[in-house]
Structure 1
Amino acid sequence: MSGLNSQQAGQGPVFIMLHGLFGSLDNFRSVSLHLERSLTVLRMDLPGHGLSPSLPTLSIEAMADAVLAEIDQLGIKEFHLLGHSLGGKVAMSVAGNPSCQGLQSLCVVDIAPRQYKPHHQPIIDALQALDLQQITDRRDADLQLRNAIPDAGVRAFLLKSLYRHDSGHFDWRFDLQQLATDYPLICRPPIVNRTIEPPTLFIKGGDSDYLGADDETGIKAVCAHPSLKIIVGAGHWPHAEKPAQFTRICQEFLSHV
């Protein structure tokens, strides 16, 4: 497999950012602009997302292996790692891999190391039902998805990854077919093969139900030094909904590592 697509900017310690399911490195663009003043921010497209190549199996562990290989390929010796949602699961798998060297800290955004119900299945079904050959523009796609995906914010997020081929037809920047096939694997908890020793911060959206008090036991089972910050008034995308507060939390955490 060729390397993952990434963008790097700024100066200082290396801070690697991993997006969530159906996302891309662009999801952290606005936050990274502030962080780049004191950090070398490396935003990475997960396998099967954005401009990164896909994999025969898009499991959490296969994605983590690809991220580790990319870090090694780039010659990065020490780094801080952040992952949102699926990216958070991948980040935990990276941190818990015995071959992971040089990790200074871990940030996990609105996800826990546990099994989740397949609540993205209606979205996957709607995207697979969309006839990309017949779409004329993004507005047309938005109209066709409206009944199945009533949340306008979710549709807008998904449609960021819709692009037009040179042929004139539309396609997704993520590998929809492989993600649909491997979605049960993505719902599983990440495999953490060793205790995550570096300081680990869990950031929860106050209005989100992805991360709860019940997750404390599971978190302490895999992380030696976990802490928690809650962003009041934010949902599952706190970095997009409350970017200034999110950035401050990251900066404060990293300054004490």
Structure 2
Amino acid sequence: MKLNYKLQGKGQPIVFLHGVFGSLDNLNMLAKDLVSDYQTIQVDLRNHGLSPWSNQINYTSMAQDVAELCHELQLKDIILIGHSMGGKVAMQLSQVIPQIIQKIVVIDIAPVKYSTSPNAIILRALMYCLNNQITDRKQIMSIMQEAGLSEATCLFLLKSYKKQHWLFNLQVINDQYANICDWQTIPSSSPCLKPILFIRGGNSVYLADKYQNTIYAQFPNAKIVTIEGAGHNVHAEKTQQVLQLLHDWLNCSSCSV
């Protein structure tokens, strides 16, 4: 699948991978800073943004899409930065194109299968609107807020609502959301040895302490850093702290393969 992407700048390539319900602009606050020193490639994953829709969404297919794009652009020594679902795609890519990856940054997600997700509330609200053919933005906003979603979450979702149409494939995401929660554990006999930085929000449940052992088992060269006072969207809530962390880690010669 040929993905939609935005390429800017020159130098070592950084590929940005967004989370579920998002688009390539979601990590723009990081890309617009890093573009002065790197080539940035912001990607719309399948069933999101302006990339094609498919009746399949899982980490095997999403990683293969990104791998094909990297080969098309002839990228090498890649740095991957992925948030949430995009972080899992980045980790999956370590098994698909390890030879062209230098480092990986995973923002607030763990290499585990989640049994529950806060996104269940989002899916119920959006599917109610879809099934009842509700297309008015104000009415959709009202329904989402009545469901208990914060104003910030509602506004984030509505960024992908254009001309009475969701830019993400809501039906497929809903039907196959178990695939997004899923994860195929990397065998302990052949772990990923790439340097990988996990950034977690101190108020988030996605990168809980209980996952540390399974992280190190799959990624022995992992570094886990907590940014206090931030939730799941730590890159948006604490942008300057995340950027400082990224600059320090990316410029660390001892953090290279």
TM-score by length of 2: 0.92
Partner in structure 1 of residue 123 of structure 2: 124
**What is the CA-CA distance between 1:155 and the residue it aligns to?**
1.0
Q: Match for 1:255: what amino acid?
A: N
Partner in structure 2 of residue 87 of structure 1: 86
Partner in structure 2 of residue 206 of structure 1: 202
**What is the CA-CA distance between 1:180 and the residue it aligns to?**
0.9
State whether residues 20 and 85 of structure 1, in contact with CA within 8 Å, keep that contact through their aligned partners in structure 2: yes
Please state whether the residue corresponding to 2:111 is helix, strand or coil. Answer: coil
State whether residues 134 and 140 of structure 2, in contact with CA within 8 Å, keep that contact through their aligned partners in structure 1: no
Please state whether the residue corresponding to 1:146 is helix, strand or coil. Answer: helix
Q: Does 1:11 align with 2:10?
A: yes
2:224 to 217, 224, 228: 228
Structure 1: gaps spanning 5 or more residues: 165-169
1:245 to 238, 241, 245: 241
Partner in structure 2 of residue 106 of structure 1: 104
Q: Does 1:141 align with 2:140?
A: yes
Structure 2: gaps spanning 5 or more residues: none
Please state whether the residue corresponding to 2:153 is helix, strand or coil. Answer: helix
Using a 3 Å threshold, how does the CA distance of structure 1 residues 161 and 149 change in structure 2: closer, same or farther? farther
* Residues 136-168 of structure 1, C-alpha deviations (whole Å, 9 max, x = no match): 3x333211222114311111111110000xxxx
**C-alpha distance in 2, partners of 1:196/1:48?**
28
Q: Which moved more, 1:145-154 or 1:11-20?
A: 145-154
**What is the CA-CA distance between 1:78 and the residue it aligns to?**
2.1
* Residues 67-117 of structure 1, C-alpha deviations (whole Å, 9 max, x = no match): 1111111111221101111111111111123x4421000101101011113
* Residues 12-38 of structure 1, C-alpha deviations (whole Å, 9 max, x = no match): 211111010101111111221111111
RMSD: 1.6
Using a 3 Å threshold, how does the CA distance of structure 1 residues 153 and 117 change in structure 2: closer, same or farther? farther
Partner in structure 2 of residue 157 of structure 1: 156
State whether residues 112 and 185 of structure 2, in contact with CA within 8 Å, keep that contact through their aligned partners in structure 1: no
Q: Match for 1:195: what amino acid?
A: P
**What is the CA-CA distance between 1:60 and the residue it aligns to?**
1.4
Please state whether the residue corresponding to 1:21 is helix, strand or coil. Answer: coil
Please state whether the residue corresponding to 2:104 is helix, strand or coil. Answer: strand
Please state whether the residue corresponding to 2:176 is helix, strand or coil. Answer: helix
Q: Match for 1:228: what amino acid?
A: I
Q: Match for 2:108: what amino acid?
A: D
**What is the CA-CA distance between 1:197 and the residue it aligns to?**
1.5
Give the length in aligned residue pairs.
Answer: 249
**What is the CA-CA distance between 1:134 and the residue it aligns to?**
4.3
**C-alpha distance in 1, partners of 2:50/2:148?**
25
Map 1:34-45 onto structure 2 (within 5 A).
Answer: 34-45=33-44
Q: Match for 1:243: what amino acid?
A: T
Please state whether the residue corresponding to 1:221 is helix, strand or coil. Answer: helix
Partner in structure 2 of residue 167 of structure 1: none
Q: Match for 2:177: what amino acid?
A: Y
Q: Match for 2:226: what amino acid?
A: I
State whether residues 49 and 174 of structure 1, in contact with CA within 8 Å, keep that contact through their aligned partners in structure 2: yes
**C-alpha distance in 1, partners of 2:184/2:53?**
19
State whether residues 92 and 190 of structure 1, in contact with CA within 8 Å, keep that contact through their aligned partners in structure 2: no
TM-score by length of 1: 0.92
